[in-house]
Chain A
């Protein structure tokens, strides 16, 4: 699996599968382009004709509301034709059925696939096996990556904090199973923040997590010292059954973000969450809905950021 798979022969974005291997300038280009799409909300007709005549298929092998909806809206606002497919998968013979699905859609002259899949590497696989003119965007693959979420997080951070270089960012919660955390860590480091700190119980951290370029804390109150940006992660309830945690209430007691604990971060710290939030499990409602929360800004920004990524992946493609 080469990193260059994401770039065409001119070094331009072709697929968007992971933050890994993309340089700072390319990430900044995405953020800048997204910025200009935000301005479009003044228009009575909230559409630009950039991708007119292009067909985009959202292939969602795993449930999603926010991501799928914002991808659909983003494609619509670029004037592309969009088809969203939710595909239930059987656990066996996935390779073959996935490839068959792709071949069939290719035969319908599709230009882009937006893929969400429970298996890590699914979007890479599709990018490797689809026709040369097709672009693939990863909308979340297993525990591997969720790069468009990372970019909208970066966009939201830049909107408020302007400069990445002095920021200390804490990512709190289930780092082990979180593709958002992985992509956020890569993006934050590529953009040159001062520090990325992960705060989690030992059972919810990957082994050798420090090699990702993060500092580690197992205590929320200590970990929040000097923090400018707090990214809370959803506690995936299915983890409880795997005996990684005693109970939800126990988790909240130790790692839930409350108003009281938020005071340990910088007074102007911003609170983020990729959604869906479990109120009272990883975050208190007062914090989720409070003045430091930008959770809904993240959702709105998702549209402009996904527009930027789709537009960049579709430019100068398709020959000559």
Chain B
């Protein structure tokens, strides 16, 4: 998909379709959906509604689990994570907006496991971009893109959802 034509609704349609397939393939039963703050929660709210998931949506704030605390510090306005139910033995759909280095997902998994030991976790992201740094990958995506050096992509929201691509420094 070309970068100029990223439509959130189209990506959500694609992600929903892929996620339904993943739920069937991985045999998820009564799954708990958890969004990673902030963008992941916005995507998760849409998917939660579209897939008619029974369990209330979980919200995860990974600030205390980041691996770059000593470099960036901690924002005092971290909101507590809210996981709706017992995690032990459950099937989890973890949702984020953009998958980039993989570090956010690693932190999210660490946090979820501190609440209990889920039986299965699948990862759904709206956009997977290049730049993975650790061996973690999404199970289903809305789209995959490759960005130029120095480009950043993020979801803006919550209403309406949009996609914002910025060049933080000149390529090269």
Contacts and interface: CB of A to CB of B under 8 A. Distances in A.
Nearest to A52: B69
Contacts of A318: 70
A40 interface: yes
Interface string B56-79: 000001011100011111101111
A249 interface: no
Interface string A302-318: 00000010011011111
A230 to B, nearest CB: 29
7 contacts: A33-B76, A40-B64, A40-B80, A44-B116, A49-B64, A50-B64, A312-B74
A43 B111 CA distance: 9
Given A36-B79, A36-B80, A38-B80, A316 B115 contact: no
A110 B74 CA distance: 21
Interface in B20-41: none
A238 interface: no
B71 to A, nearest CB: 7
Contacts of B6: none
Interface in A2-48: 12, 28-30, 32-33, 35-36, 38-40, 42-45, 47-48
Contacts of B88: 44
A316 B72 CA distance: 6
B104 interface: no
A42 B76 contact: no
Contacts of A315: 69-70, 73-74
A291 to B, nearest CB: 27
A314 B113 CA distance: 25
B110 A36 contact: no
Contacts of B69: 50, 315
Given A49-B64, A49-B110, A39 B81 contact: yes
B83 to A, nearest CB: 7
B159 interface: no
Contacts of A29: 76
Given A316-B71, A316-B72, A39 B80 contact: yes
A142 B76 CA distance: 30
Given A32-B76, A36-B64, A45-B114, 5 more contacts: A30-B76, A33-B78, A36-B77, A40-B64, A45-B115
Residue with the greatest number of chain A CB neighbours at <10 A, chosen from B70, B83, B110: B70
A202 B91 CA distance: 66
Nearest to B67: A49
Interface string B77-121: 111111100011000000000000000000000110111100000
Most buried by B among A35, A47, A48, A311: A48
A316 B73 contact: yes
A316 B70 contact: yes
Given A49-B64, A316-B70, A32 B77 contact: yes
